[in-house]
Structure 1
């Protein structure tokens, strides 16, 4: 697909070249502070909208819908039902069974008689008079149009061609150059505004962000790591061990209660004696020793070596 080439610009005259540069300089001087203020106000407005106005608007919308729209909707439904029941239905019945029959049998017949014997002849007479008056008005109108053409249209055409067209061309050139100057000045002011914003951002980082980051890395982060490693980790391990010990103690208590309940039930209803449940001996991964397990004899290292 071939790219469409932009239409060639018309050759510019001396007037355009003489107007362009001064106008652009003046407009640039005027537009730069306006663009800076505009960008600052726009940024403030966006932040205010995101942080304040949008949440406030949502809250007001919900409140208005809850307190106003819902009650008014219910009230409107009630009023519509009342109007339909008390006004529309009776009027409809009255129109169908009273007005329409009375109009048909009491008004249509006189109206038809008046139309046939009075309005029709009167209309024919008015139409005949209007055909004659229309011819006279047409002749007079044609004469007035010719006189107006000679007295007004021809001089106005000459004035438009000889005076207004050159003046309008000059005004169009000046307006076009002013508009182009405003466009260039607005773009240049935008670049200046972005440069100022980047400078303020760099200055804020140097004055606030870098010291805060240094304080965090030098002071706060070591303190947080020390608290995490020296205080929080031991406390967490102790809590885990305490929880594990508590769970094992509760399991042992539950097993003892279950065996006691079974012994009591067996004593009441009778039955074979319960064999003692062997307790698991202590293993390498266990932290407790079974109550019935016999500890292994300790062997001294000196005796072994001797």
Structure 2
């Protein structure tokens, strides 16, 4: 595929070329143009086509930082094949520091979209029409929402040996089996034959250097496995094999109040261990939150205030 010309939005990129193509689907209400950069780097040598995307949710900026570093560190200049980078897919949400599009829709729930649908739906349609037909592999970078911090993890569908092999190569600290969600980018890509890994790490409206490095190093390991890694770069071996999580469970707050979290995402806790306290603002009560079972904390709520029923921890139940 790499030896052929690639045409995106009417612009052709030949083997050995690099080009930034600006996608313009709509403007702001001020008539200001919004350009979504699509950064394409091609080798002269035939090879796979890989997409690194982030910012599908506009407030999940840690993924944007991962893709930015892939670009600035010249990791996106392949030895073979083609690398396409989209650091900010939902530029509208990025500007507004919000998850959704201006029409209130979640872009990650409207795929495959419609040419004449809502703004988010139209964007999804063009993304699938112009970008996805060219790619064979993809890593879509996300972060936890609503002040919930995700330990660095890859999510793949169950019973897919090819994706499991790729997850082994990426080697994030954790890999979760999760079914595709209807209307999601991952689901749409899967139906079109694209092998996609979904990376989750950190939380919305936050940058975390450890999460960023996990994402960058995983991307390098993946490119190295595909024979695409820039020869000037080295793919570092991860400290330990990824831990596969077959099942997991949420812990929810039994009380409303000030939330004092004592555990970081990624830590192992034992059943009955005190992992947080919930207190009222007036010194009347202090409630202990104990781990209902032993496991790894794969998501931890960093909010200072919680309400009864809020998700506060996500803990692994069964490892693979």
TM-score (normalizing by structure 1): 0.15
Q: Which has the higher strand share?
A: 2
Q: Which has the higher helix share?
A: 1
Larger-Rg structure: 1
- Higher relative CO (CA 8 A, sep ≥ 6), structure 1 or 2? 1
TM-score (normalizing by structure 2): 0.15
